[in-house]
Each structure stands twice: as C-alpha cells, then as structure tokens.
Structure 1
Amino acid sequence: MSQKIDGGIAAAAQLRSVAINTKVAAAGDAKPKPIEAADSVRLTGEATQLQAVQRELSAAPAIDQARVQAVREALENGSYKINPDAIATRMLGLDQQLQG
C-alpha cells in the first residue's frame, strides 16, 4: 500500500486550527460558535536568566577590537609569546567536554 505525499500537511494543520477554534454546532444551531481559549506561558527562573544572558550577549560586540589591536601590535613587534602547554591543556579540556 502506498500513499502520495502532496503537501496536504499545511491543509491538515489549517483544518486542525479551524477545528480547535470552533465548537460543534448543536442540532438546532445554524453556525458553529467560537471557543474562548486563553494561552499563557510561564517561564522558569532558569529560562528567564537565559533570556537575560541572551540579551546581554546580543548587545555585546562580536569582536573585541582592543584585544585584536593588542595582539596585532604584539605580533608586529615580536613580543607575542605562545604558550604551547596552555594551548594543549585547553585543547584536551575541550576534547573532554565534547566527549561528555
């Protein structure tokens, strides 16, 4: 047995929406009556904190121009020091986090 998928999902969702928003008419009624429904959302404290952090991050610049300039100058004058131990430690820590 096979069924043809013809994009009827949107139509089905639209029918569900109409069915949810109307009440079945009684035997003598001429028109369906709308159902009064009030939706509400209540966020947990953690969700509220996450929203606050998201707002702060979206307001912050993506690139710290002062840090970029400082690194650029250190590279140009040869004073930039690379610490391979710190790099390796951070890479291993990241690997451990990704493995869970």
Structure 2
Amino acid sequence: MTHKIDGGLPIARLPEAAGPTSPARAGNDRSQPIGAATAADSVRLTGEAEGLQALERQLGAAPAGIDVARVNAVRTAIADGSYRVDPQQIASRMLDLDRELAQ
C-alpha cells in the first residue's frame, strides 16, 4: 500500500499568545528581545529548615574540632604497628551509647 504525500492537508494553527513571553514563531520579528517569564513559583522555608541551614553554615565555617596532633599520633602508631585496639573499652562505649539512645 502506498500513500502520496502532496502537502494538501490543512495545517493546524495554534492561537497566537498575547504578550512578550510567547515563543517566537517562524516569520515573527526576531530582532527584538524576548521578555523573561515572571516567576510564578516561590519557596518558603520552615523555621526548622532555616535552623538547619544556619547550622550547616556554622559547621562549614568553623574548624571541625579535630585534634590534628592526636590524629597524626594514631596514624603513626597504625603505620608502625604499635596501635592496639582495646575491645573491652569499645564494648563499654557501645553499651553507654545504647543506654543514651534508649532514654
């Protein structure tokens, strides 16, 4: 089955939108700038979200509170094999944390 394409079909026309925010159509004057669309969306943060943003800024700006000398000492101990893990102390601290979280 064959169909002849002859361009004889009517072309659907879209109604022209009023205002400068409509897209430029073929044949329109494109020498003039197109106006920006007005902002219809807005964002409003809750007090909690604003507080979290403030906390994030504080944490990003403040020093991390890391004891660099202690970190370097642990790195050296790990590198030379003298670092020892105390499983009793780790277990004790894990239980303390569990108790705090349960409250």
Indicate the TM-score class for this superposition, using the shorter chain for normalisation: 0.3 to 0.5
Larger radius of gyration: 2
User: Which structure: greater helix fraction?
Assistant: 1
Tell me the TM-score normalized by structure 2.
Answer: 0.36
Greater RCO (Cα-Cα under 8 Å, separation 6 or more): 2
